[in-house]
A and B are shown apart, each in its own frame.
Chain A
Amino acid sequence: MHILVSGLSHKTAPVEVREALTFPEHTLGEALTSLTSYPHTNEAVILSTCNRTEVYTVASDIEGGQGDIAKFLNSCHEAKGCDITDYLYQHDSLGAINHLFRVVSSLDSMIVGEAQILGQTKEAYSHAFEVQTTNLIFNRLFRQAFAVGKRVRTETDIGENAVSISYAAVQLAKKVFSDLSGKSVMLVGAGKMSELTAKHLQSNGVENVLITNRNYDKAVEMAKTFNGKAVRFDDFTDEMAAADIVISSTGAPHTVIRKDAMKKVMSKRRGRPIFLIDIAVPRDIEADVNNVENVYLYDIDDLQSVVDSNIEERTREAKEAETIIKQELQEFLSWVSSLEVIPTIADLRRVAEQIRRAELERVGTKLGELSAEELNAVNTVTSGIINKLLHEPMIRLKQSAGHKEGYLYVDSLRHLFALDEDEEAPPKQKAPEQVKNMSPIKNEYGTGR
């Protein structure tokens, strides 16, 4: 039994290649069943997002399984007429498990720490589960992978800090104000970036949106989309006292918010802090404004440097994530090794011998004093019965080891004879239905936080 993965991602393949090898949701079921019909492949999960396509399988032997995947991928993309073999990477056994754990923890993502890959992997697994191309190994492996992904997110800061300009603005606002709900934002001028930032602020609780623009009609129009209020450009600094956050992005060649105006705003605000974001180039807000008490001014470069340092922070946290992965990998491996044939046979013999001895001890008193010869005979007979009884199952188990579903016999045997119960039993598997309730997330590498 071997776990294999083969695929391509943003790291190995350009977008033209990636888009040639995608599996849209409606084709997944068919693809999965065709994959498991290959001779060496027993279980399969296909993970297909815009940045990666990966095929995970459980195969009876490594080379055969890899051959199956190669044939399968060729059959899938042949129609599109493009050679993908140069872009493929392959991992087996330990490497494959490690790869899955890293992917699901978003260590392999374009933006390390993004949140969506976990949900996407859950979806990929539940598709496979529905068409029954997963079994013992993958049901266990993928569920553990989701636990890894969750541990990494909760136990490290990997997804904590913003890695895009607009989210960095939100993160900074949250360092000034404890809670953004009930706060107001003012947009000075229009622009994609400022609108995006305002949307993020709104989804973080900001309630009132004030919009001003040199073109008043445009301001009114924008106010509708934000459910906010338009303000005339001539006297917007008068209204600014009501805003806790100001995002400025006018196309003006000169500054539109100056220090003296800001001082007036602050005396109207009775000193309550205000957070100014200047994303215009050339800048809209006089740099000196930052020196006014309780005013915090950030321009586009400042935001970018926050983003840069956050990306560094994520890389540091990724190291901690790797140690979590190592621990979980160990746990999975010890479970897998219990499925080996040889140790199972040894366990079975041990249990049988224990039973035999226990029974002999129990009846020992009833038999009275036995001579050495008699005792020997009893031992020979009882051992003989056990050996005869176990002989056939053992032969068949050894034969099945080479078979692609061999480990299922091992698992059944361990279960029927309770071989794991006197030692530390592996945790019981949860009902597979649980993974079905997942939010449909489509894009793997959005500006996730």
Chain B
Amino acid sequence: MEEKLVIIFFWLALMAYASAFIFYVYLFIQKRQLTSYLATGLVLLGFAFHTASFVAGWRSVGHIPVEGAFETYFMIAWSMALIYISLEWLTGLKVIGAWVLPFIITLMGISWFRYESAERLSPVVQNSWVIMHVSVIFLSYAGFTMAAATSVLYLIQQRQLKQRRVTLFFRRLPSLEVLDNLSSTAVSLSLPFMTMVIVTGILRSLKQFPAWYLDPIVISTTLTWIVYSVYLALRYLGSWQGRRVAYVALVGFASLFAVEVMRSFTFFHRFG
């Protein structure tokens, strides 16, 4: 029963997010009060269903369901929705919705293709270290994705201003300073989580996998960690502002992708 609920709520959430996305796009094109309410209402509804699906999953396996591929992408999407909703609440910025929801919807789509029942997971990964390890992954991935989205917006707005063109993007997007602050805050908050990902991962594997440092995922994750550390150093210690650090944030995001590609070559980082 609970497993069916997971799926039903999953699809309801996905549908709410997709319709919210349509309203956010419409709102981006034309500022209208009704559209604005509908967009926010739908994204909140989607998040409620998303959470309901998560709770149903929890009840069906009896512990936090965070261990399979489905749950992983599902939870990254959930964390992003949570971050986005708090951001909209705090800043009142609604224009970013049209740019963040595609990420959430894509992640949910990926998770659906990797769906499998939680019971079928191997006992190896049903371990509290793993749960901690994976939980911080969600938060860091969600934060870095947010940083990438706002960095892209920064680059777009920066280009408009340099080329002195008054377009829709120029009107709707917030100022360079706001976008720059959003992405650097996202990176600053996510890097500690990524550090915890690496530390918990190492602690967990010391005994079981002595050659953990040879794992492609470990190597690529460490590289990603370095890229984001460089980002913060350049942003706060050096005099790199705006456009250049935005590119660094995108390089970091690309290396996150590389980590996911490495998953097919890893010898112990497989789901389930």
Q: Return B170 CB to nearest CB of chain A, in Å.
A: 7
CA distance A294 to B161 in the complex (A): 10
- Determine the chain A residues whose CB is within 8 A of the CB of B33 once the complex forms: 154-155
Q: Determine if A306 is an interface residue (Cβ-Cβ < 8 Å).
A: yes
Nearest A residue to B173 by beta-carbon distance?
A175
Q: Return B81 CB to nearest CB of chain A, in Å.
A: 25
Interface residues of B in 116-159 (CB under 8 A from A): 157
Q: Are A156 and B177 in contact (CB under 8 A)?
A: no
CA distance A293 to B247 in the complex (A): 14
Q: Determine if B208 is an interface residue (Cβ-Cβ < 8 Å).
A: no
Q: Are B241 and A273 in contact (CB under 8 A)?
A: yes
Given A155-B33, A273-B241, decide whether A290 and B162 contact each other with a Cβ distance below 8 A: yes
Q: Are B164 and A298 in contact (CB under 8 A)?
A: yes
Q: Are A310 and B242 in contact (CB under 8 A)?
A: no
Q: Are A178 and B166 in contact (CB under 8 A)?
A: no
Q: Return B27 CB to nearest CB of chain A, in Å.
A: 12
- Determine the chain A residues whose CB is within 8 A of the CB of B166 once the complex forms: 305-306, 309-310
Q: Determine if A267 is an interface residue (Cβ-Cβ < 8 Å).
A: yes
- Determine the chain B residues whose CB is within 8 A of the CB of A306 once the complex forms: 164, 166
Contact with B along A150-168 (1 / 0, CB 8 A): 0000111100010000000
- Determine the chain B residues whose CB is within 8 A of the CB of A174 once the complex forms: 175
- Determine the chain A residues whose CB is within 8 A of the CB of B270 once the complex forms: none
Q: Are B241 and A178 in contact (CB under 8 A)?
A: no
- Determine the chain B residues whose CB is within 8 A of the CB of A302 once the complex forms: 164
Q: Determine if A177 is an interface residue (Cβ-Cβ < 8 Å).
A: yes
- Determine the chain A residues whose CB is within 8 A of the CB of B171 once the complex forms: 161, 313
Contact with A along B183-208 (1 / 0, CB 8 A): 00000000000000000000000000
- Determine the chain A residues whose CB is within 8 A of the CB of B176 once the complex forms: 175-177, 273
How many contacts A-B (CB < 8 Å)?
A: 59
CA distance A270 to B245 in the complex (A): 14
Q: Are B181 and A178 in contact (CB under 8 A)?
A: yes
- Determine the chain A residues whose CB is within 8 A of the CB of B175 once the complex forms: 174-178
Given A178-B178, A305-B164, A305-B166, decide whether A271 and B31 contact each other with a Cβ distance below 8 A: no
> How big is chain A's contact interface, by range?
20 to 34
Q: Return B164 CB to nearest CB of chain A, in Å.
A: 5
Q: Determine if A296 is an interface residue (Cβ-Cβ < 8 Å).
A: yes
CA distance A300 to B108 in the complex (A): 49
Given A267-B239, A298-B164, A309-B166, decide whether A178 and B177 contact each other with a Cβ distance below 8 A: yes
Q: Determine if B59 is an interface residue (Cβ-Cβ < 8 Å).
A: no
Interface size on B, residues (CB 8 A): 23
CA distance A148 to B200 in the complex (A): 60
Given A174-B175, A176-B175, decide whether A155 and B32 contact each other with a Cβ distance below 8 A: yes
Q: Are A176 and B177 in contact (CB under 8 A)?
A: yes
Q: Determine if B240 is an interface residue (Cβ-Cβ < 8 Å).
A: yes
CA distance A174 to B174 in the complex (A): 9
CA distance A306 to B161 in the complex (A): 11
Q: Determine if B4 is an interface residue (Cβ-Cβ < 8 Å).
A: no
- Determine the chain B residues whose CB is within 8 A of the CB of A298 once the complex forms: 164
Q: Are A272 and B31 in contact (CB under 8 A)?
A: no
CA distance A104 to B166 in the complex (A): 29
Q: Return B68 CB to nearest CB of chain A, in Å.
A: 41
Contact with B along A266-279 (1 / 0, CB 8 A): 01001111000000
CA distance A306 to B31 in the complex (A): 19
Q: Determine if B243 is an interface residue (Cβ-Cβ < 8 Å).
A: yes
Q: Determine if B114 is an interface residue (Cβ-Cβ < 8 Å).
A: no
Given A155-B32, A273-B177, A290-B162, decide whether A175 and B242 contact each other with a Cβ distance below 8 A: no
Q: Are B177 and A270 in contact (CB under 8 A)?
A: no
Interface residues of A in 44-86 (CB under 8 A from B): none
Q: Determine if B244 is an interface residue (Cβ-Cβ < 8 Å).
A: yes
- Determine the chain A residues whose CB is within 8 A of the CB of B244 once the complex forms: 293
CA distance A320 to B239 in the complex (A): 45
Q: Return B237 CB to nearest CB of chain A, in Å.
A: 10
Contact with B along A283-298 (1 / 0, CB 8 A): 0000000100110101
CA distance A176 to B178 in the complex (A): 9
Interface residues of A in 168-189 (CB under 8 A from B): 172, 174-179
CA distance A271 to B161 in the complex (A): 16
CA distance A155 to B35 in the complex (A): 11
- Determine the chain A residues whose CB is within 8 A of the CB of B178 once the complex forms: 178
The one of B30, B157, B239 in contact with A271, judged by C-beta atoms closer than 8 angstroms, is: B239
Interface residues of B in 230-259 (CB under 8 A from A): 239-244
- Determine the chain B residues whose CB is within 8 A of the CB of A294 once the complex forms: 241-243
Q: Are B241 and A272 in contact (CB under 8 A)?
A: yes
Nearest B residue to A179 by beta-carbon distance?
B177
CA distance A270 to B238 in the complex (A): 8
Q: Return B2 CB to nearest CB of chain A, in Å.
A: 44
CA distance A219 to B1 in the complex (A): 80
Q: Return B209 CB to nearest CB of chain A, in Å.
A: 44
CA distance A201 to B107 in the complex (A): 44
- Determine the chain A residues whose CB is within 8 A of the CB of B30 once the complex forms: 320
CA distance A267 to B162 in the complex (A): 19
Q: Return B136 CB to nearest CB of chain A, in Å.
A: 30
Interface residues of B in 29-52 (CB under 8 A from A): 30-33
Nearest B residue to A275 by beta-carbon distance?
B161
- Which one of A177, A270, A294, A309 has the greatest number of beta carbons of chain B within 10 Å? A294
Interface residues of A in 288-339 (CB under 8 A from B): 290, 293-294, 296, 298, 302, 305-306, 309-310, 313, 320
In the assembled complex, 26 residue pairs joining A and B whose CB atoms fall closer than 8 Å, in A order, are A154-B33, A156-B31, A157-B31, A172-B161, A175-B157, A175-B161, A175-B175, A175-B176, A176-B161, A176-B175, A176-B177, A177-B177, A178-B175, A178-B177, A270-B239, A270-B241, A271-B239, A271-B241, A271-B242, A273-B242, A293-B243, A293-B244, A306-B166, A313-B171, A320-B30, A320-B32
* Extra inter-chain contacts (16) besides given A175-B157, A177-B176, A306-B164, CB under 8 Å: A155-B32, A155-B33, A175-B161, A175-B175, A176-B161, A176-B175, A179-B177, A270-B239, A271-B242, A272-B241, A273-B177, A293-B242, A293-B243, A294-B242, A306-B166, A320-B30
- 10 smallest A-B Cβ distances: which pairs? A270-B239, A271-B241, A271-B239, A178-B177, A309-B166, A178-B178, A302-B164, A178-B175, A155-B33, A177-B177
